[in-house]
Amino acid sequence: MDRERRIRLALVVPCFQEESALPRTNDVLTSLLLKMSEAGLVGDDSYIVYVDDGSTDGTWGLISGYACCRVKGIRLSRNFGHQYALLAGMEYVAGNCDACVTIDADLQDDPSVIPDMVRAYMDGSEIVYGVRSKRVGDGWFKRHSAHCFYTTLRHLGVECVYDHADFRLLGRDALSALLEYGERNVFLRGIVPKLGYRQSKVYYQRGERKAGSSKYPLGKMIEFAGDGVTSFSVRPVRMLFWLGVVFMMAALLVGIYVMARYFSGETIEGWTSLILSIWFCTGILLIGLGILGEYVGKMYVEVKKRPRYNIAETV
C-alpha cells in the first residue's frame, strides 16, 4: 500500500468509570493528534474513538460533550470488559482508517511514543507494540505478578510479547486479519502475535495512573491470566496426561513392592500411607478435572456464538 501519503489514524480508547481521568486524557490526545497532523505525520481527518464500557459515572456525559468530527464515542450496553471494549472500538474504526492505536484512558501508557509507532508503520511495520521498558508507575506487587504472568505464558507455549499490554498500532491489514478471529474469549495479547505481518516495538516508561483507580483488581487479573493460558495453550491438559503416566509408573512400583511384602508373609500396616495416597490421588484427580472443566467451559461459551458486545449508542 501507499505509505508515503499522510495516513488517517484512529485512536481507540476504552473507558470504564474514567470521569476523573478523561478530561486530561482528551486534552493530551487531541493536542497530540493536532501536533502530528501539523508535522505532516498523519492526516487532519485522524480521530479519536472513546468506547464507554458501561460506566455508571459521568464518563459518557464527558464523551458526548467532546464529540465532534475528530472525536467519536461508542457506548456499550453494559460493562463487557477491557478486551471487548477494545474490540468494539477496533471493529468500529476498521475500514475507516489506515492504522489504529489502542491506548488506555488513564495515560499510563505514554502517548508521546505514538508518533514513533506511526513512523515504524510508515517504514513498513503492520503491527507496532508499545513495550514497557520500565514500570515506574506500578507497585511491587503489580510488577512481580506481571513478571510471573508473562513468564508462565511463555513456558506454557503462549506466544506473547513480554511487557506489552494493549498499547499497540495495527495497520489496516492487520486489523482486518484480527477481526477474522471469531472467538468469544478474547485475549488480544495472544492473538495479535499470531497474525504475522512485519512487527516491531517501541519502548516507553509506564507511568502512574493520572486519575481514578485501577479497574483491574486482583481477582480480575487472575481471571484474565487464566483466560490467557487456557485460550491459547493445551499444555496444562498435556501436563496432566504426563503426570498421570508418572503416577501409573509409581503405582506399578508400589504394586510390586506390596506384592513382594504379601508373598513374604509380612502383614501390611500401611493405614497412614493408604489414607495419604487416597487424599493425594483425589487431589490430583480434582486438579485434573478442574483443568478439563476449564477447557470444556470455554467450548461451551464458544459454541453458543453469542455477540461479544452490544452497542447502545454512538455520537
CA-nearest of 200, 207, 188 to 112 is 207
227 touching ligand UDP, by CB under 6 A: no
By beta-carbon proximity to ligand UDP, the closer residue of 214 and 273 is: 214
By beta-carbon proximity to Mg ion, the closer residue of 17 and 46 is: 17
By beta-carbon proximity to Mg ion, the closer residue of 46 and 83 is: 83
Handedness of CA 232, 236, 237, 242 (dihedral sign): positive
By beta-carbon proximity to Mg ion, the closer residue of 98 and 138 is: 138
15 touching ligand UDP, by CB under 6 A: yes
State the cell numbers at 312: 447502545
> Phi and psi dihedrals of 233, rounded to 5?
-140, 135
Q: Which position among 22, 99, 100, 105 is part of the footprint of ligand UDP (CB under 6 A)?
A: 105
Torsion of CA 110, 111, 112, 115, to 10 degrees: 130
Residues 183-222 that bind ligand UDP (CB under 6 A): 214-216
Helices (H), 197-270: 218-232, 235-263
- Give the separation between CA 166 and CA 104, rounded to whole angstroms: 8
- Give the separation between CA 142 and CA 139, rounded to whole angstroms: 5
- Site track 26-65 with ligand UDP (rule: CB under 6 A), x = hit: ---------------------------x------------
- Site track 108-137 with ligand UDP (rule: CB under 6 A), x = hit: x-----------------------------
By beta-carbon proximity to ligand UDP, the closer residue of 214 and 282 is: 214
108 touching Mg ion, by CB under 5 A: yes
Residue 14: its H or E element: strand 9-15
Residues that bind Mg ion (CB under 5 A): 106, 108
